[in-house]
């Protein structure tokens, strides 16, 4: 069966546009580390990474877990790959087998990595994470001296980079950003003559704090269209109407009859639900686009479907509804859905991304691609 009830559309032209905006913001001397963890924020890590490697000229990628990096190697990504999050000891051999770069956050892992490296007489590049106030991964700034002393025991460990992570860069007025920058700057000044590579900024840092760019930046959300008004959303979500009917006045809609009709109401059923990433928080609050017009969500979002008000509209089964994305001159984006759901765009994108029933359809220069990897020779 080829006809899909609901799907995602991933616009690779928008991805390339966003990369261009990011490069213009940071300048040609600052490297772009493309963050493609969590299946490229739900956009499909394999296609996105191969596309960025070839058409985006990306030289370094970043993921959260070593399994993600191994997938990238196996599909043909041959550039640098950073593993941003702490890993367990069992992962160490795979760093060497697949030529991956750990971002180290603990003395225990540093010692284990060094011992393994020395025992195999193989060198490995490492980045050291500094906790400047995120309160998560990384060494405290006061521990960096001890880190460097520890590394001297293991000549096979090559210090390539120093990183940190901003906790609230979206808020330009939050003084904590300056606090974090001050601590990172102290580490930078102590090591800048050591030919070490410094990276500090995520999307918020890229667009709100130019002085935080250092040698490289790590765009994640901004690659996919959020974080600045010049960016274009890459992901769209669409579905085909499966049922149209009229309900009498005084009729309940959905579980718990949280919406009651006050007149004869024509409704349409949209075959996507909270199992597909369309959050239950959007019950009676969300809206969709149908033929360039907004239609309200009526009642609760179910696991597999929800209902919209199409009273006084010409609607038929198989008409396409835009749940997220553009329709003519109107748009519903992940930011809108996040606000209505009391969450963040990251969760909206990865929620749709993890939905097994929503297949990705990629398009480039306005054309839907049947097999983007072969058609674009990625």
Q: Which of 200, 223, 246 is the last residue of a domain?
A: 223
Are 216 and 167 found together in one domain? yes
Supply the angle between the helices 45-55 and 66-75 in degrees, to the nearest 10: 60
CA angle at 273 for the pair 367 and 321, rounded to the nearest 5°: 40
Domain of residue 246 covers: 235-368
SS3 187: helix
Are 249 and 180 found together in one domain? no
Indicate which residue of 59, 74, 172, 255 is catalytic. Answer: 255
Within a domain: 2: no
Looking at residues 160-185, what average pLDDT do you find? 94
Which residues are CB-contacts of 356 (< 8 A; sequence separation ≥ 6)? none
Q: What is the pLDDT of residue 328?
A: 93
Does pLDDT of 193 surpass 90?
Answer: no
DSSP code per residue over 42-99? HT-HHHHHHHHHHHS---EEEESSHHHHHHHHHHT--SEEEE-S---GGGHHHHHHTT
Are 336 and 286 found together in one domain? yes
Looking at residues 291-308, what average pLDDT do you find? 98
Within a domain: 1: no
Q: Which of 188, 223, 258 is the last residue of a domain?
A: 223
* 8 Å CB contact between 201 and 218: yes
Which residues are CB-contacts of 18 (< 8 A; sequence separation ≥ 6)? 222, 223, 224, 225, 231, 232, 234
Within a domain: 377: no
Q: How many domains does the chain have?
A: 2
Within a domain: 72: yes
Looking at residues 261-270, what average pLDDT do you find? 97
Averaged pLDDT score across all residues of the chain: 96
Are 60 and 140 found together in one domain? yes
Within a domain: 329: yes
Burial class, 161, CB count within 10 angstroms (exposed 0-12 / middle 13-18 / buried 19+): buried
> In whole angstroms, what separates CA 217 from the centre of its chain?
15
The owner of tokens 């609760």 is 300
Tokens of 363: 């398009």
Indicate which residue of 8, 37, 80, 238 is catalytic. Answer: 37
Within a domain: 89: yes
Q: What is the pLDDT of residue 3?
A: 82
> In whole angstroms, what separates CA 271 from the centre of its chain?
25
Does pLDDT of 194 surpass 90?
Answer: no
Beta-strand relationship, 287-290 and 320-327: antiparallel
Does pLDDT of 355 surpass 90?
Answer: yes
> Nearest CA to 325 among 336, 311, 314?
336
From CA 304, how far away is CA 5, in angstroms rounded? Answer: 11
Cα end-to-end distance, the chain, whole Å? 28
> Nearest CA to 323 among 257, 235, 224?
235
Catalytic residue check, 37: yes
Supply the angle between the helices 144-152 and 176-191 in degrees, to the nearest 10: 30
Q: Residue 1's pLDDT band (boundaries 50, 70, 90)?
A: low
Q: What is the pLDDT of residue 276?
A: 98
Number of Cβ atoms within 10 Å of the Cβ of 58 = 21
Are 214 and 267 found together in one domain? no
Tokens of 121: 């007489």
CATH number where 33 lies: 3.20.20.10
Within a domain: 351: yes
Are 301 and 197 found together in one domain? no
Looking at residues 309-331, what average pLDDT do you find? 97
Q: Which of 189, 223, 257 is the last residue of a domain?
A: 223
Are 94 and 72 found together in one domain? yes
């Amino acid at each position: 069966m080829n006809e899909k009830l609901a799907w995602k559309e991933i616009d690779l032209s928008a991805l390339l546009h966003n990369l261009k905006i990011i490069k213009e913001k940071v300048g040609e001397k600052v490297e772009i580390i493309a963050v493609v963890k969590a299946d490229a924020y739900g956009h499909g890590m394999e296609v996105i990474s191969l596309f960025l490697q070839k058409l985006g000229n990306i030289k370094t990628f970043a993921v959260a877990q070593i399994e993600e990096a191994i997938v990238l190697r196996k599909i043909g990504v041959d550039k640098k790959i950073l593993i941003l999050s702490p890993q367990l000891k069992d992962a160490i051999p795979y760093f060497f087998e697949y030529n991956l770069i750990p971002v180290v956050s603990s003395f225990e892992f540093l010692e284990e990595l060094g011992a393994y490296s020395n025992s195999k007489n193989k060198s490995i590049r490492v980045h050291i994470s500094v906790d400047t106030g995120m309160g998560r991964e990384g060494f405290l700034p006061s521990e960096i001296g001890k880190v460097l002393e520890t590394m001297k025991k293991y000549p096979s460990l090559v210090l390539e980079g120093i990183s940190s992570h901003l906790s609230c860069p979206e808020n330009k007025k939050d003084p904590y950003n300056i606090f974090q920058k001050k601590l990172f700057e102290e580490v930078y000044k102590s090591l800048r003559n050591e030919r070490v590579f410094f990276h500090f900024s995520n999307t918020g840092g890229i667009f709100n704090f130019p002085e935080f760019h250092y040698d490289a930046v790590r765009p994640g959300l901004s690659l996919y269209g959020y974080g600045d008004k010049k960016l274009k959303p890459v992901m769209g979500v669409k579905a085909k109407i499966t049922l149209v009917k009229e309900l009498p006045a005084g009729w309940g809609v959905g579980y718990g009859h949280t919406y009651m009709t006050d007149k004869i109401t024509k409704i349409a059923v949209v075959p996507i639900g909270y199992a597909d990433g369309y959050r239950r928080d959007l019950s009676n609050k969300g809206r969709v686009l149908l033929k360039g017009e907004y239609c309200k969500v009526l009642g609760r979002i179910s696991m597999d479907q929800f209902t919209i008000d199409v009273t006084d509209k010409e609607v038929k089964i198989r008409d396409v509804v835009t749940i997220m994305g553009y329709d003519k001159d109107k748009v519903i984006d992940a930011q809108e859905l996040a606000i209505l759901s009391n969450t963040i765009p990251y969760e909206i994108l990865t929620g749709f991304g993890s939905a097994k029933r929503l297949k990705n359809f990629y398009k480039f220069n306005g054309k839907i691609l049947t097999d983007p990897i072969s058609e674009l020779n990625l």
